[in-house]
Chains A and B, each alone.
Chain A
Amino acid sequence: MISPSSSPDSTVKDPGHPLVELSHVEKHFGSLHVLKDINLSVNKGEVLVVVGPSGSGKSTMCRTVNRLEGIDSGVIRIDGKELPQEGKELAMLRAEVGMVFQSFNLFANKTILENVTLAPMRVRHMSKADAEDLAMDMLSRVGVDSQASKMPSQLSGGQQQRVAIARALAMKPKVMLFDEPTSALDPEMVNEVLDVMVGLAKEGMTMICVTHEMGFARKAADRIVFMADGRILESGTPEEFFDHAQTKRAKDFLSKILTR
């Protein structure tokens, strides 16, 4: 007897389903309701930029996608797979989701090269030689390969952030999360990081970027999501959002940001 094909692989090869999907996500910090009924889906290859005033919950939302923040209710799926509880399975899933932080968070006790090779070796069990080849590729891609043997503290903020991007890329993630990647940078270093991000977007990387860089949003985003007070108020193409914002909150926000 031929049994019906055993339970389908959880990474279903359905091109229609979104890569990242949040539905009815709710989160509180104590009595503060930070995420209110968040529904969002990001397709493969899509570049989503999340904007909004500070305290709107956009960073928190970004951090829930790889469960650095837990949620109170709702469902988050990555490539059709629901986020598991803390443990090995979650670690494997996080390995597929690259994350770049506002404060770089390079490992202070490791060289630049070791920062990039660590996870491929420990999580993907790559040999040291292969991991170093891969790391040098990634570092040259972001233009800091000449700094490979230095410690993070010897690099400028912009260089550190580019290393952080290389570190995440070395895991060959399905999606990259950027949590205000340029907010801690000196103004003259913002563009070197944004250039790398624009390059990634052009290569078809799926990206969720929380940022205040409206120029980047206009240039690289496929879709812009506007958040305020823990809610998604608008979602649309850059043209729709910047030129024809619907809500008063979004218009207020844009008037404050764009007159500068």
Chain B
Amino acid sequence: MHTLVELFSQYDIVGAFLVNIEITAWSTLFSLILGVVLVMMRISPVSSMRMVAGAYVELFKNMPLTIIMVFMVLGAYAQLKLSFSSSFATNFFWLAVTGLSLYTAAFVCESLRSGINTVPLGQAEASRALGLSFLQSTTSIILPQAFRGSVAPLGNTLIALLKNSTVAAAASVATETSSLMSEMIEFHADAIIAIFLIFAIGYVILIIPIGILTTYLSNALAVRR
């Protein structure tokens, strides 16, 4: 107990979790936007759009996240001079958000596509028969139903995203949880089990409510046919 109090007073553990939550929140927003665009391209009547989106998803879905994160720092930032801010900390934060968003968008796209598969073909046919354009029928009929049908896979994607936010360490975000954990272990090798448990349990506490919420929402929002 004594060690725990000491650790919590010495390090900003809650602050580190907040950094991960912040990374997750921004990445959720951007990956949702990009994922929606990708899935609309994947079901669009234009074959080149379908191909581009398909290639994107296959590429990012099958690439290890660490490699993307390292590329963001060594490739996008160091070589291609992509910079968000003159402050190192802010710059690496947004580089990490970019990498995570690009990666997660592929999974958002796949989740939404599984949701689109739950929408009967007749819904699209009926909207086309009324004279709605592809964009109109997608945004007002197909996607709203697809979202409600893909709450569960989207929730799983969000859970994976929150855990993946620790890979931001690979993009040199020094204030997030896994960086802080390494730092704490370095100086308190005697309390290694306690330190490990703090972070492990911290994530479990964050993630269990997300799981409960997705299960609830996926029933509450299910489309009645």
Tell me the A residues contacting B by CB distance below 8 Å.
66, 68, 86, 88, 91-99, 101, 103, 105-110, 118-119, 122-123, 151, 153-154, 164, 167-168, 171
Contact = CB atoms under 8 A, between A and B. Distances in A.
Interface centre among A108, A110, A153 (most CB of B within 10 A): A108
Interface centre among A92, A99, A107, A153 (most CB of B within 10 A): A107
Nearest to B45: A86
A153 B225 contact: yes
Given A105-B125, A107-B123, A108-B225, A118 B130 contact: yes
B145 interface: yes
Interface residues of B, number: 22
Contact of A109 (B126, B128, B136, B148): B148
For the complex of A and B, the 4 pairs showing the least CB-CB separation, nearest first, are A95-B131, A105-B126, A105-B122, A119-B130
B131 A108 contact: no
B48 interface: no
Contacts of B81: none
A108 B145 contact: yes
A41 B127 CA distance: 26
A131 to B, nearest CB: 13
A153 B122 contact: no
A88 B129 contact: no
Contact of A91 (B120, B123, B125, B132): B132
Contacts of A164: 126
Nearest to A103: B122
B144 A119 contact: no
Interface in B93-141: 120, 122-123, 125-133, 136, 140-141
A27 to B, nearest CB: 17
Contacts of B120: 103, 105
24 contacts: A88-B133, A91-B131, A91-B132, A93-B131, A95-B130, A99-B129, A101-B125, A103-B120, A103-B122, A105-B125, A105-B126, A106-B126, A107-B126, A107-B141, A108-B123, A108-B145, A108-B225, A109-B144, A109-B145, A109-B148, A110-B141, A118-B132, A119-B132, A154-B224
B140 to A, nearest CB: 7
A68 B123 contact: no
Contacts of B128: 68, 91, 94
A134 to B, nearest CB: 14
A218 B130 CA distance: 29
B59 interface: no
B52 interface: no
A123 B145 CA distance: 21
B125 A171 contact: no
B128 to A, nearest CB: 6
Contacts of B148: 109
